Amino acid sequence: MEKTLYLLEDDKSICDLVTYSLELAEIDVSCFNTVDAFYEGVARKEPKVVLLDIMLPDGNGYDVLSELRKSHPQVVCIMLSAMSRENDKVKGFNLGADDYITKPFGVLELTARVNAAFRRLGAADEISVRNITINERTMSVAIDGRPVSMSNMEFKLLAYLIKHAGSVISRDKLLTAVWGYDEGETRTVDIHIARLRKLGVQGIETVFGAGYKFLK
């Protein structure tokens, strides 16, 4: 998973400290000192995690947090502020903050909390059924904990079957959902199912005259 983090902070010394500390942990940090610059950065590329100061020259972090929760709900938002009263923290959490770090802060604690946020993101991307674990963000598969290499379409087919485990899915439906074809040769589906089975995927049941079902 790409570790991209945006920091909205108008204090250059804090920007430099956070950037230096997190880059040592192999996190790609971009620092913005105004709300407008931050929004421009998000529009260019969505980060995975953001650190938000509250008191800013052209706005406040609470408003930015509220906006991010509407427009980019999947981004992890961590408040980073000298406002340390309980009411300040509660307000942040009520607006959707995932964490709240008060200034002054220790760089080790900051790094640990940010790394924890990235771990939670990675875990959220994983789906486990039977002895198979797939990660949709990294497009990786493990069977019995062992990494298994497969093609892009094999992965998409397996992911679709797993996400619909227990349901019978027709070949036509699979062709549309996985390949994007409204119509076509359903033999393509059969060939890819056979490949998945050869790779060690167990639990794909052929339902004659109907399609396939991934057993829970």
DSSP letter string over 164-188? TTTSEE-HHHHIIIII--SS--THH
Output the pLDDT for position 62. 96
- Is residue 183 over pLDDT 90? no
- Is residue 85 over pLDDT 90? yes
- Is residue 216 over pLDDT 90? no
Report which of residues 135 and 157 the model is more confident about: 157
- Is residue 158 over pLDDT 70? yes
Provide CB contacts within 8 A for 164, sequence distance 6+.
214
What's the predicted TM-score (pTM) here? 0.63
Query: Rounded CA gap, 164 and 128, in Å?
Result: 12
Output the pLDDT for position 1. 65
> Phi and psi dihedrals of 176, rounded to 5?
-75, -45
Identify the band that residue 202 occupies on the pLDDT scale cut at 50, 70 and 90: very high
Written as six digits, the tokens of 199 are 């790779």
Identify the band that residue 121 occupies on the pLDDT scale cut at 50, 70 and 90: confident
Mean pLDDT of 89-93: 94
- Is residue 127 over pLDDT 90? no
pLDDT tens digit sequence for 6-59: 999 999 999 999 999 999 999 999 999 999 999 999 999 999 999 999 999 999
Report the range of poorest mean pLDDT among 94-103, 122-131, 202-211: 122-131
Output the pLDDT for position 136. 81
Provide CB contacts within 8 A for 32, sequence distance 6+.
6, 7, 8, 9, 38, 41
Domains of the chain: 4-124 (3.40.50.2300), 126-214 (1.10.10.10)
**Whole-number Cα distances in Å, 79 to 27, 92, 109, 118, 136:** 18, 7, 14, 15, 28
Three-state DSSP class for 83?
coil
Identify the band that residue 123 occupies on the pLDDT scale cut at 50, 70 and 90: low
Q: What percent of the chain has pLDDT over 90?
A: 78
- Is residue 87 over pLDDT 80? yes
Output the pLDDT for position 157. 95
